[in-house]
Amino acid sequence: MEIILNNTRENFNAEQLTVSGLLAAKNFTFRMLVVKINDKLVPKDEYGSAVIRDGDNVTVLHLISGG
């Protein structure tokens, strides 16, 4: 399947993927992440069940606090 991940085309060897699966595949381990699928925010407790499908536009943002 092909998705747009952070404005870049990415291919995965699957028909669908959960957010957790995507984060593991891309080795995104940062603790504070915001994930959107097609501009819809995915709550952290739904990462294991939220499905990413072929053609979806996915945004993964790392939140960094500072002063």
Give the per-residue pLDDT at 15: 86
Contact 1, 17 (CB under 8 A): yes
The pair of structure tokens assigned to 44 is 């952290």
Cα 19 to the center of its chain, rounded Å: 5
**Are residues 38 and 28 in contact, defined by beta-carbon separation less than 8 angstroms?**
no
Q: What is the pLDDT of residues 19-54, one digit of tens each?
A: 999 999 999 988 899 999 999 999 999 999 999 999
pLDDT in tens, 46-66: 999 999 999 999 999 998 877
CATH of 2-62, one of 3.10.20.30, 3.80.30.20, 3.40.50.620, 3.40.630.30: 3.10.20.30
Return d(Cα 56, Cα 38) in angstroms, integer: 6
The whole-number pLDDT of residue 67 equals 64
pTM for the whole structure: 0.90
Quick one: pLDDT at residue 29? 86
Domain boundaries, the chain: 2-62
